[in-house]
Structure 1
Amino acid sequence: MDQLLRRRDVERICAISRATLYRYIKKNVFPRPIRIGSGSVRWRLSDVVKWMEDASDLLSSLKGEIFTFIKKEYIKNDYDYDGYDQGEAT
């Protein structure tokens, strides 16, 4: 059986506020909780872990694209570019 997490545990684990949590749920970016009673909800640990893994994968894939874009903007706008690529000195 999957462990169930309280809202404050989800907020702490994911390092997000209550407002952000519910905003993500409203935008279908975060898993919806399950109701366990009148006014009580819980999140499945497996759903939260999967969301965190997916978010990590997305950020990793975007990292290279973001730095490439920044580098191109520096070159295009004739800024001084010190040879930094993806956060590391060359």
Structure 2
Amino acid sequence: MAKANHERLSILRRKQVEQRTGLSRSSIYLHIKNGLFPKPVSLGPRAVGWLENEINAWLAEKLEARNKA
């Protein structure tokens, strides 16, 4: 088993990611394909999720880019 991480990890499902980011399902997967969005974590044969801290970091990056413009 992997070493315990002191940071609390939380998984967001696709609907939660859509709500947080305002992106549609197809936009999320297009951004992933283009290397512009965090990759999902496999949770099972037909289930994926995203690490909440990676989604938060992506959102913070977008805000920073907006504020620099």
TM category, shorter: 0.7 to 0.9
Percent identical pairs in the alignment equals: 27
| Shift of residue 32, structure 1, vs aligned partner | 0.2
TM-score normalized with structure 1 length: 0.66
The higher radius of gyration belongs to: 1
Is 1:49 aligned with 2:56?
yes
TM-score normalized with structure 2 length: 0.85
Is 1:35 aligned with 2:42?
yes
Q: Distance in 1 between matches of 2:13 and 2:38?
A: 13
Structure 1 portions without partners, runs of 5+: 63-90
Instruction: Report Cα offsets for 1:28-83 as digits up to 9, x if no partner.
Output: 11000000110110100000000000011011112xxxxxxxxxxxxxxxxxxxxx
Superposition RMSD in Å: 0.7
Structure 2 portions without partners, runs of 5+: 1-7
Selected match of 2:16 from 9, 15, 26: 9
The one-letter code of the counterpart of 1:28 is G
Alignment match, 2:5:
none
Secondary structure at the residue paired with 2:20?
helix
Give the count of matched residue pairs: 62
Larger helix share, 1 or 2: 1
